A and B are shown apart, each in its own frame.
Chain A
Amino acid sequence: MVSSSTFHVVRSSAASRVAFAAALLFVALAASLPFWGESSWMREFVEIACYFIFAMMWNLLAGYGGMVSIGQQAFFGFGGYVMLALGNFTGLNPFLAIPLGALAAGLVAAPVSFVAFRLTGGYFAIGTWVIAEVFRLSVANVSAVGGGSGTTLTALRGIEKSMRERVTFWMALACVVAAVALVYLFLRSKRGLALLAIRDNEVAAESQGIPVRRMKLAVYVVAAFGAGLAGALYFVGNLRISPDAAFSVNWTAFAIFMVVIGGIGRIEGPIVGALIFWALNKFLSDYGTWYLLGLGLLAIVTTIFFKQGLWGFAQQRWGWSLFPTQRWLATGEASSARRSVRHSSPSDLELHPHAKHQ
Chain B
Amino acid sequence: MLETVLQGVLLGGLYTLFALGQSLMFGVMRLTNTAQGDFIILGAFAVIAGVGLLGGAPFVVALAVLPVAFGFGYALQRYVLNGTLGKDPLPSLVVTFGLSIVIQNLLLELFSADPRSIETGGLDIQGLRLGESLSLGVLPLLVLAIALAATAALQWLFARTALGRSFRAVSDDREIAELMGLNAKKVYALATAIAFVLIAIAGALQGMRTTVSPSDGPLLLLFAFEAVIIGGMGSFWGTLAGAMILGITQQIGFRLDPGWGIWVGHLVFLLVLVLRPQGLFPKTRG
Contacts and interface: CB of A to CB of B under 8 A. Distances in A.
B101 A296 contact: yes
B60 interface: no
Nearest to B106: A293
A134 B273 contact: no
Contacts of B98: 296-297, 299-300, 303
A290 B105 contact: yes
B114 to A, nearest CB: 14
Interface residues of B, number: 44
Contacts of B106: 289, 293
B75 to A, nearest CB: 15
A296 B93 contact: no
Nearest to A250: B101
B208 to A, nearest CB: 26
Given A121-B30, A289-B108, A300-B102, A256 B92 contact: no
Contacts of B267: 134
Given A127-B273, A134-B267, A293-B101, A304 B89 contact: no
A141 interface: yes
Given A297-B102, A354-B86, A138 B263 contact: yes
Contacts of A260: 94
A6 B42 CA distance: 63
Q: A-side binding surface: helix, strand, loop or mixed?
A: helix
A13 to B, nearest CB: 28
A134 B102 contact: no
Question: Which of A68, A122, A299, A354 has the largest number of chain B CB atoms within 10 A?
Answer: A122
A62 interface: yes
A68 B90 contact: yes
A165 interface: no
Contact of A137 (B91, B221, B266): B266
B32 A133 contact: no
B88 A351 contact: yes
B274 A68 contact: no
B262 A118 contact: no
A116 to B, nearest CB: 9
A297 B79 CA distance: 15
Given A115-B274, A293-B106, A299 B225 contact: no
A62 B101 contact: no
A123 B102 contact: no
Interface in A86-137: 114-115, 118-119, 121-123, 125-127, 129-131, 133-134, 137
B176 to A, nearest CB: 13
B89 A133 contact: no
A133 B94 CA distance: 20
B175 to A, nearest CB: 8
B229 A293 contact: no
Contacts of B100: 296
Interface string A334-357: 000000000000000011101000
10 contacts: A122-B30, A125-B34, A126-B221, A127-B273, A133-B222, A134-B267, A249-B218, A293-B109, A299-B101, A303-B90
Interface string B95-132: 10111111001101100000000000000000000000
Given A122-B34, A256-B94, A303-B90, 5 more contacts: A68-B90, A126-B32, A130-B225, A297-B102, A352-B88
Contact of B97 (A70, A119, A130, A304): A70
A72 to B, nearest CB: 13
Interface residues of A, number: 42
B166 to A, nearest CB: 19
A133 B262 CA distance: 10
Contacts of B274: 114-115, 118
B259 interface: yes
Contacts of B269: 130
B52 interface: no
Contacts of A114: 274
Interface string A291-309: 0110111011001100100
A122 B26 contact: yes
B88 A304 contact: no
A215 interface: no
A352 B109 CA distance: 38
A126 B273 contact: no
Interface string B19-54: 000000010001110100000000000000000000
Given A68-B89, A304-B84, A134 B270 contact: yes
B270 A253 contact: no
